[in-house]
């Protein structure tokens, strides 16, 4: 039999040929195509095989079938998107700190690196030089730290203004500006700048702000305060653009030691700080302590800064005698604490519960012991948990990469903002730097789908989706979306509407006012909600003064109070009495 195909054969296509030539799937062919003709084919072995075939003309007609046309359009779109992704990837591969470093080389600056553990006087020494050499700026990670420096510098008789994402406090004839690092003024020349907590240069969400400040803040002398694990990377970075760099090593002024196990509130003393890792645990622990004769200040992330400041004030002025806090206490909040007691040793990281890292143990535990007040600081743990003893004082792995910001100039390209963010998030990590985490921006962008402004006002949209929003709280995301849509439609944005009935309501209301303020600031509209936020903080203080027993965690079976640091919602007795499920697992 001749191996050449006849003209008639060439006009007949098998399923395999249709898939190969037109990119259709087997499923689509089975669903949409009519029953095939049978063609007999002789194999090399001599056997005959029956193959289903369709005339080419019929196949091309079937391409107009709605389901097939839709599938082909999606395939074409996917191929086009993949082509664009490869082009965008090539653009992003060129993004590196080199642009910042090149700018840094053109600036004449000297650097002083203050290196040491918590409570070693790094920031104190830097601030003392700042006060002597003005004009200057302090750049910190938290609004609470910026406020603390604002208070201290003004108390020293040096006019100082404050600027954070939440508020601005101008002071007449100010010689120093204390601000959060994201609001660094890159257009003003300073004599001195202080960059605090520079180990956060490796933070995937905010680290790009430290990288930019170190490279381009316009100051004759730049003091950089950091934990030891950041020294190698930061010094190496600076050596690339300046040979004027000195290192000052600081040791703890009050030695730190492991104090062993704390057996519940009976072993607690005044001037202790108990560490928990959730709002519920903090409030429950504070309620249990007050029930047993202590007076507790509470500090946790969701608490408004003014309310946190008030809790710190109550402790430092003696209105309370213990502190119950989350890891919000770890970054620079100055408290006269002698002992830190870890009531919990695991924290939720947004996905799962995990043990504390060495850096977290040392950062939080390092708050124990204030120089001049205590000979030493002690760190204890509730329960037989060796993790604190194992990690306290141990060396933290050195930082190997800094975070670089998403490049705004790509907004001028032809690619959609959604695809730019998607590609940026999927880029491989370099050995020298990591890319800014834009996951929250992706979540917020999805809330704006369908608006024409996504293409016509991309710069504005980008400013809106990079507004700090707790995307794990659905109510705040919904409120942000209402405000953002109103801005893009040139309408008045709504005021927060969460009320102040409960502590949770107050926290949501305050965060919503922050969103309101941040969004208006991004579009250049003045917003003064100072009175409203002050009223919320007063309401929180009122709720804090009320009977805290409502916050005590109780066993879901017998209703008994759960002990401090309990990770479960059932007491040990009920757990031991509970029947087993099939397979040996307990019911609870």
Q: What pLDDT is recorded for position 584?
A: 47
98-249 and 256-391, same CATH topology: yes
Domain positions in the chain are: 7-92, 98-249, 256-391, 438-545
Q: Is-cis flag, bond preceding 201, omega within 30?
A: no
In order along its 588 residues, the chain shows pLDDT tens digits of 444 555 556 788 888 888 888 888 888 888 888 888 888 877 777 777 888 888 888 888 888 888 888 888 888 888 888 899 999 999 998 888 888 999 999 999 999 999 998 888 899 999 999 999 999 999 999 888 898 899 999 999 999 999 987 778 899 999 999 999 999 999 999 999 999 999 999 999 899 999 999 999 999 999 999 999 999 999 999 999 998 999 999 998 888 899 999 988 788 999 999 999 888 888 889 988 988 889 999 988 888 878 888 888 899 999 999 999 988 887 767 788 899 999 999 887 766 788 999 989 998 998 888 766 667 889 999 987 899 999 998 988 999 999 999 999 999 999 999 999 999 999 887 777 889 999 999 999 999 998 888 888 999 999 999 999 999 999 999 999 999 999 999 999 999 999 999 989 999 999 999 999 999 989 988 877 888 888 998 898 888 877 677 888 888 888 888 887 777 788 888 877 776 543 445 554
Give pLDDT tens digits for 367-381.
888 766 667 889 999
Long-range pairs for 214-217: beta carbons < 8 A, 24 or more residues apart: 214/238, 215/97, 215/100, 215/101, 215/103, 215/104, 215/241, 216/100, 216/103, 216/104, 216/107, 216/186, 217/137, 217/139, 217/184, 217/186, 217/190, 217/193
**Inter-residue contact 333 to 147 (CB < 8 Å):** no
Whole-number Å distance between alpha carbons of 337 and 321:
10
Which position has the token pair 């193959």? Answer: 51
Cβ atoms within 10 Å, residue 9: 11
449/204 Cα distance (integer angstroms): 26
Cβ atoms of residues 223 and 194 within 8 Å: yes
Q: Domain 98-249 classified CATH 3.40.50.300? A: yes
Quote the tokens at residue 200. Answer: 């956060």
CA–CA distance, 327 with 275 (Å, rounded to integer): 7
> Can you name the CATH fold of 256-391?
Rossmann fold (3.40.50)
- pTM to 2 decimals? 0.81
Sheet of 37-42, strands arranged across:
12-14, 48-55, 37-42
- Give the model's pLDDT for residue 437: 93
Is the separation of the CB atoms in 277 and 348 below 8 Å? yes
């Amino acid at each position: 039999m001749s191996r050449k195909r006849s003209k008639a054969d060439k006009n007949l296509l098998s399923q395999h040929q249709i898939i190969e030539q037109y990119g259709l799937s087997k499923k689509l062919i089975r669903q949409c195509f009519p029953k095939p003709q049978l063609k007999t084919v002789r194999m090399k072995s001599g056997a005959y095989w029956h193959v289903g075939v369709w005339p080419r003309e019929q196949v091309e007609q079937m391409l107009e079938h709605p389901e097939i046309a839709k599938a082909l359009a999606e395939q074409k779109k996917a191929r086009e998107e993949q082509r664009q992704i490869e082009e965008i990837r090539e653009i992003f591969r060129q993004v590196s700190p080199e642009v910042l470093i090149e700018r840094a080389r053109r600036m004449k600056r000297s650097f002083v690196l203050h290196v040491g553990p918590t409570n070693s006087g790094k920031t104190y020494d830097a601030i003392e030089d700042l006060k002597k050499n003005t004009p200057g700026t302090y750049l910190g990670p938290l609004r609470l730290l910026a406020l603390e420096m604002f208070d201290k510098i003004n108390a020293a008789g040096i006019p100082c203004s404050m600027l954070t994402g939440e508020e601005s406090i101008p002071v007449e004839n100010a010689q120093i500006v204390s601000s959060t690092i994201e609001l660094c003024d890159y257009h003003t020349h300073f004599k001195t700048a202080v960059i605090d907590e520079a180990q956060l240069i490796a933070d995937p969400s905010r680290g790009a702000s430290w990288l930019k400040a170190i490279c381009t803040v316009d100051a004759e002398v730049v003091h950089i305060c950091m934990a030891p694990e950041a020294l190698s990377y930061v010094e190496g970075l600076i050596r690339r653009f300046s040979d004027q760099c000195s290192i000052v090593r600081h040791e703890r002024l009050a030695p730190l030691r492991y104090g062993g196990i704390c057996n519940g509130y009976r072993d607690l003393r005044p001037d202790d700080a108990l560490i928990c890792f959730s709002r519920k645990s903090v409030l429950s622990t504070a309620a249990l302590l007050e029930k047993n004769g202590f007076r507790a200040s509470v500090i946790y992330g969701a608490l408004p800064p003014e309310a946190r400041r008030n809790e710190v004030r109550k402790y430092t002025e003696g209105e309370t005698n213990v502190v119950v806090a989350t890891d919000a206490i770890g970054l620079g909040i100055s408290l006269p604490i002698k002992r830190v007691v870890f009531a919990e040793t695991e924290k939720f990281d947004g996905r799962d519960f995990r043990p504390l890292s060495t850096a977290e143990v040392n950062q939080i535990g390092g708050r124990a012991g204030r120089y001049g007040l205590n000979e030493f600081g002690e760190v204890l743990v509730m329960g037989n948990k060796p993790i604190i003893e194992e990690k306290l004082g141990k060396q933290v792995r050195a930082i190997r990469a800094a975070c670089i910001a998403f490049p705004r100039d790509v907004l001028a390209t032809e690619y959609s903002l959604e695809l730019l963010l998607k590609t940026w998030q999927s880029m491989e990590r370099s050995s020298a730097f990591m890319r800014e985490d834009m996951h929250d921006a992706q979540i917020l962008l999805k809330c704006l789908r369908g608006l024409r402004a996504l293409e016509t006002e991309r710069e504005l949209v980008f400013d809106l989706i990079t507004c700090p929003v707790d995307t794990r709280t659905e109510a705040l995301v919904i409120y942000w979306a209402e405000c953002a849509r109103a801005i893009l439609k040139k309408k008045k944005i709504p005021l927060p509407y969460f009320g102040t009935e409960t502590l949770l309501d107050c926290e949501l209301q305050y965060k919503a006012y922050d969103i309101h303020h941040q969004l208006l600031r991004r579009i250049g509209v003045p917003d003064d909600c100072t009175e409203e936020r002050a009223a919320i903080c007063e309401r929180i203080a009122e709720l804090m003064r009320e009977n805290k027993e409502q916050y005590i965690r109780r066993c879901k079976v017998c209703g008994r109070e759960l002990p401090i640091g309990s990770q479960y919602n059932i007491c040990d007795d009920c757990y031991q009495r509970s029947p087993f499920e099939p397979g040996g697992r307990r019911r609870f």
